[in-house]
């Protein structure tokens, strides 16, 4: 299986900060990389698909980049509702999807 | 509005069985691939399976099926152990998302304990 490694595992940031989370795949996955936001007790939410496409209804402060093995999720100006855990997921090795271990974004 | 609603979770003894259901509404269920994903307490999201494809940890213990007439996805689980304790989510693969899960349910909790 393709191993997805996120960094950092957690971070503390303030409202208004620019935050970047990275995700590295153990092999080339082209642009088959998706990002999710997950809050406790809620359903996970798709933010970015195909590495950089913004899912409908997601605020434009979220953006994604990268291709091949290295990817980023950037929140341009952190808002109070953005404190959550973020996961990357590869959909290259259909249908054996794998997730990163998650990055918890906490309030500083 | 598009919805997925899981049910069937609960407390089960080690070695026991359980069947989870996921009822879809607001879209043509038969047109979409559907998956199961789980999250153990304090852990991250973990892909479980789709159709006849499963994660390695399943080891022949789980079976995924669907009834398109009832708009329902199922996860039959047997030989459960404490390591299977988790919230189980069903998720839809979007047609435009290159394999991304664009709709998720809120999950159903499975606790395996004596």
- Chain A residues whose CB is inside 8 A of the B46 CB are 99
Contact A49 B33 (CB under 8 A): no
Average pLDDT on A68-78 reads 97
d(CA A35, CA B60): 29
B95 pLDDT exceeds 90?
A: no
For residue B18, what pLDDT is reported? 98
For residue A95, what pLDDT is reported? 78
Average pLDDT on B89-114 reads 92
On whether any CB of chain B is under 8 Å from the CB of A36, the answer is: yes
d(CA A5, CA A37): 16
3-state DSSP call for residue B57? helix
For residue B97, what pLDDT is reported? 62
Q: What share of chain A is helix, strand, coil (3-state, %, to 5)?
A: 5, 50, 50
Q: For all residues of chain A together, what is the average pLDDT?
A: 96
B34 pLDDT exceeds 90?
A: yes
Average pLDDT on A29-54 reads 96
């Amino acid at each position: 299986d393709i191993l997805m490694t996120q960094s950092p595992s957690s971070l503390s940031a303030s409202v208004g900060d620019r935050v970047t989370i990275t995700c590295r795949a153990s092999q080339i996955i082209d642009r088959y990389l998706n990002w999710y936001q997950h809050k406790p007790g809620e359903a996970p939410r798709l933010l970015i698909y195909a590495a950089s496409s913004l899912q409908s209804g997601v605020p434009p402060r979220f953006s994604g980049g990268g291709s091949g093995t290295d990817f980023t999720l950037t929140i341009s100006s952190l808002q109070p509702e953005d404190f959550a855990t973020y996961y990357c997921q590869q959909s290259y090795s259909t249908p054996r999807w794998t997730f990163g271990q998650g990055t918890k974004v906490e309030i500083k | 509005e598009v919805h997925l609603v899981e049910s069937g979770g609960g407390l089960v003894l080690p070695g026991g069985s359980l069947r989870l259901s996921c009822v879809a509404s607001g879209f043509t269920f038969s047109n979409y691939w559907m998956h199961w994903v789980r999250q153990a307490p304090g852990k991250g999201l973990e892909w479980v399976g789709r159709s006849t494809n499963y994660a390695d940890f399943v080891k022949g213990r789980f079976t995924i099926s669907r009834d398109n007439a009832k708009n329902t996805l199922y996860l039959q689980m047997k030989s459960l152990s404490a390591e299977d304790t988790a919230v189980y989510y069903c998720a839809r693969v979007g047609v435009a998302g290159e394999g991304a899960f664009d709709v998720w349910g809120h999950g159903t909790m499975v606790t395996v304990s004596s």
